[in-house]
Structure 1
Amino acid sequence: MKTLSDAPSEPSESLLKRRLRRFRGLRRGYYSFLILVTAYLLSFGLPFVMGRQALVVHYDSQWYFPAFRSYFYNTFGIGNRGLYLAKTFEQTDAEGKRVLGQADYAALKKQFAKQDNGNFVLMPLIPFGPNQQSLDQKGNPPYPPSWQHWLGTDDRGRDILVRLAYGFRISISFALVVTGISYMVGIAVGATLGYYGRWVDMLGLRFVEIWGSIPFLYTVIILASLLPRTFGLLAGILATFGWMGITYYIRGEVYRERSKDYVAAAIAVGEGHTSIIFRHILPNSLTPVISFAPFAIVANITSLVALDFLGYGLPPPTPSWGELIGQGKENIRDWHLVVFPLVAMFLTLQLIVFIGEAVREALDPKTYSRLR
């Protein structure tokens, strides 16, 4: 006769799986995560959707793929220098003279259409690059939205939709890099201070306090005026100031965890300090830090937009939301320069906030309390 104890027991679900299931159950945050991740991954294929380089050129019974390689200016039988270079670089023509140019496959497409001899050019859906000027309309830019430029152009005739899309990729990449560096440094420093304590903690905290007293904006202004502004420089500057908040979180968590029995057991069996910190304590201390990560990404995106708006961000002509917002301020009567950049920024930050709220709810320890 089988007893209740003989019944097969179901395998217990790990805490991580329960948290992931809880996160997927929070529809608003989960769908926001899918939308944001999908948009970010697709942004790396933007040159195939928005760009001035042709995808395919069929000329003289041969196929060319300018999206993947460069061609000399005389490849397609028309001697207009500079029309058919896939990049801006110097070449030498048949006479040995230096030629500097940039591709204009839209002009080549029109030329083939006039000839009507079977040659054709396949352009991206939106045939404009992020830094390409379109000055073929009446009047001076900025131009309002039209069938040619769906969201209009900026004050230099560049397509706003294209610059917003490329600016999205740059903003998210910048925020992820800064957040990643800040977290690595902050977690390492905070874990060291919290685990060793005593004079290590005392001296380390004094260093953090002194470093935190350095004015961030003045530092950026000074470095931006002395050094060439690049993606790496700005990311490094923000990361050097962004790790301190994470340090305080991790220090407090490690202080709490190191007094527990599993840490004493690890010490008793002879494990090293590094192993105890990174294999035992940190996995149990990262919950508040992970919950804070989406909001840190929001803060870093906002910081980049603010620096670009003030003129101390990424160098022109880099596609930038802050630069577009600055143009909106200078051209306040051109409503599309004000509305579209702010809407793009609002929607992106709102998606990240929804993700942050869902992560915080999924990691809430009270959800999995034994009392419930």
Structure 2
Amino acid sequence: MKTVAFYRIGMIICTSSILLLLISSLIYNLLPDNDIPQMLLLRDDNGRIIGDAPFAPSWQFPFGTDREGYDIGYKLLEGAVYTIGAAIIISLLSFIVAFGIGIIGGFSKFRVKSFAHKFFTSFYFIPQSIIAYNILYPVIWEPMEGFTTTLSERIVIEVLVLAIITVPTTAILISNETEQILGEEFITSATVLGGSPLFIFYKHVLPHLKMRLFIIYPKIVIQMLLIIAHLGFFTLYFGGTDVCYTPFCHPPKPFIQEWSGMMGTSYKELGLSWWIFMGPLLCFTVTTLLLNGIVKCIEGLIDHEPYKSKQTSRENETHSFESHSKQEKFLFIKN
């Protein structure tokens, strides 16, 4: 029981930390006066200049400032809702589509299923960031004549593309889990008794599969965060990359203040003002660790606690046998 309580507390802490970060970022973005503090020059009590941007991490600036004097801590808080929120929404769309395809694939017995399985398995070995880069580059990279799409349209296109890219691997995983459950003896018994595929899915497959789904979804979110981070290093920022083609202008920069854009524009600072790059990298790392913590806690609960789906499955199996036995009728034919 102590082990079960440990996993439950761990899952609550990890989930609450992510929700707290998201809610705090959302509230900050909704504030009417949410300008990021800026300090280009630091003066002493006599008004003399004693420092200029960028400032290293200190009590006044826990995450330091960038070269324009903006507080990195506030920039990270502002970008959390865009980065984590985008990963959660994209992963949810991908998960819903993959769930439908995976369940159908698990129940399907067509010959084309074997070919489709082998084809989509190749996505495990092809870096999804490269696929996303090649598809999204014409959409996100600003051309010389300017964007012909709005920011909202680019975000919608990027969300859909990233969701579709992660569908094949997730669908195969769910399909394999479904096939494994369908191979159990109680499924064979339910089929012999005349259970329809819909009945078998709802009463037998889903109770065994649902806990596994709670493990799969956080892994998709982690995968999506990695893809978004990789695109940031490729200077493809979420919502579009603002490119200037005139001489002596700024380098490519993001339209939205989010973590991958902050890393993509500051990785060259690693040997100079290291904190400008390490701030968003730290946020990505902590978020990934929290999501991994959720996965490990759910796996621990499954291993150490007889969750209700097993009992529900046995009850449903017994009920299925009894109901079919009661409905069974014998006809006697008299000569």
Separation in 1 of the partners of 2:83 and 2:298?
A: 21
Task: Work out the CA distance in 1 between the residues paired with 2:59 and 2:177.
Answer: 56
Cα distance change of structure 1 residues 166 and 266 upon mapping to structure 2, 3 Å threshold = farther
1:281 is matched with which residue?
A: 205
Q: Which residue of 2 is the match for residue 153 of structure 1? A: 65
User: How big is each residue's C-alpha offset from its partner over 1:295-323, in whole Å with a ceiling of 9 and x where there is no partner?
Assistant: 32222112111211221131213112223
Contact 1:23–1:358 under 8 Å retained in 2: no
Contact map agreement 2:120 2:172 (CA 8 A) in 1:
no
8 Å CA contact 1:291–1:363 kept in 2: the answer is: no
In 1, Cα distance between equivalents of 2:105 and 2:96: 14
Which of residues 275, 289, 307 in structure 1 aligns to 2:231? 307
Q: How does 1:1-372 map to 2 (within 5 A)?
A: 22=4, 25-47=7-29, 53-54=32-33, 127-129=34-36, 141-145=53-57, 150-206=62-118, 208-209=120-121, 216-228=128-140, 230-259=154-183, 260-262=185-187, 265=190, 268=193, 271=196, 273-274=197-198, 276-278=200-202, 280-314=204-238, 315=240, 316-331=254-269, 332-364=271-303, 367-368=305-306
| Distance (Å, rounded) in 2 between the aligned partners of 1:23 and 1:176 | 27
- 8 Å CA contact 2:267–2:277 kept in 1: the answer is yes
1:221/1:335 CA distance change after superposition, 3 Å = closer
Shift of 1:286: 3.3
Cα distance in 1 between the residues matched to 2:180 and 2:130: 37
Following superposition, the deviation at residue 234 of structure 1 comes to 2.5
In 1, distance between residues paired with 2:133 and 2:281? 25
1:177 is displaced (CA, Å) by: 1.6
The structure with the largest alpha-carbon Rg is 1
Shift in alpha-carbon separation, 1:30–1:177, aligned structure 2, 3 A: same
Closer, same or farther: CA 255–219 of 1 in aligned 2, 3 Å: closer
Q: Percent identity?
A: 18
> 2:265 & 2:94 partners in 1: Cα distance?
31
AA aligned to 2:235 is G
Within 2, Cα distance between the matches of 1:215 and 1:345? 19
Structure 2 alignment gaps of length 5 or more: 43-48, 142-153, 241-253, 311-335
Contact 2:121-2:172 within 8 A present in 1 as well: no
Distance of aligned partners of 1:329 and 1:293 in 2 relative to their CA distance in 1, 3 Å threshold: same
CA distance, structure 1, for counterparts of residue 17 and residue 132 of structure 2:
33
User: What's the secondary structure of 1:158's corresponding residue?
Assistant: coil
Residues 264, 232 of structure 1: alpha-carbon distance in 2 compared, 3 angstrom cutoff? farther
TM-score normalized with structure 1 length = 0.61
CA RMSD of aligned residues (A): 3.4
Query: What does the per-residue CA deviation read over 1:197-254, in whole Å, with 9 as the maximum and x for residues that have no partner?
Result: 1325235325535777876444433333322463322222222221222222222222
Q: CA deviation at 1:333?
A: 1.4
Aligned counterparts of 1:350 and 1:214: Cα–Cα separation in 2: 24
Q: Distance in 2 between matches of 1:286 and 1:180?
A: 15
Q: 1:292 is matched by which residue type in structure 2?
A: I
Asked whether the 8 Å contact 1:249–1:289 carries over to 2, the reply is no
Q: What secondary structure does 2:166 align onto?
A: helix
Task: Decide whether aligned partners of structure 1 residues 226 and 261 sit closer, same or farther in structure 2, where only a CA change above 3 A counts.
Answer: same
Using the size of structure 2 for normalisation, the TM-score is 0.67
Instruction: Give the conservation status (yes or no) of the 8 Å contact 1:291–1:356.
Output: yes
In the TM superposition, what whole-angstrom CA distance separates every residue of 1:117-174 from its partner, at most 9, and x where no partner exists? xxxxxxxxxx524xx8765767875344577755333234433112211222112112
Task: Find the aligned partners of 1:320 and 1:329 in 2 and give their Cα distance.
Answer: 15
CA distance in 1, matches of 2:136, 2:112: 34
- Letter of the aligned partner of 2:167 in structure 1? W
Question: Structure 2: which amino acid aligns with 1:257?
Answer: I
Question: 1:342 & 1:157 partners in 2: Cα distance?
Answer: 19
Q: Select the structure that is richer in helix.
A: 2
Higher RCO, 1 vs 2 (CA within 8 Å, ≥6 residues apart): 2
How far apart in 2 are the matches of 1:178 and 1:133?
33
For 1:198, what is the secondary structure of its paired residue?
A: coil
Structure 1 unpaired stretches of 5+: 1-17, 55-126
Instruction: Report the alpha carbon displacement of residue 45 of structure 1 after superposing the two structures with TM.
Output: 0.9
Q: Measured at CA, do residues 330 and 175 of structure 1 come closer, stay the same or move farther in structure 2, by a change above 3 Å?
A: same
Task: Count residues in correspondence.
Answer: 272
Aligned partner letter, 2:180: R
